[in-house]
Amino acid sequence: RFLPSEYGVDPDFMEHSIAPGSVLFEQKRKVRRAIEESGIPHTYVIAHCFAGYFLSGLASFGRFWPPAAKVQIYGDGNHKGKRRPLLEETPESRKLAQG
């Protein structure tokens, strides 16, 4: 399975961005469409601020580095994530979310 590097922002939701960012997002959308058309098994992982804020401190809120002694695990540690759109849902955004 191919996992393209998206890092923080979903390029399919950035079609109204302005230059220079719009150039990068357009290139990423072209790559995505090529992957999809080729039939390569893939997964898009959109982390938003997760890696830079939550993961860096291992979910110890307010920290930007892991604690030295222990890490707090909330719940049983088996929670599955859910995709939540950052923008208002429209027919177009629902179509994009369905793939």
Catalytic machinery residues: 28
> How far apart (Å, rounded) are the C-alpha atoms in residues 2 and 35?
9
- Which amino acid, residue 87? L
> Element (H or E) spanning 3, and its range?
none
Q: Which helix (H) or strand (E) holds 21?
A: helix 21-38
Please give the Cα distance from 76 to 87 (Å, whole number): 30
Half-sphere exposure of residue 29, counting CA atoms within 13 Å on the CB side? 15
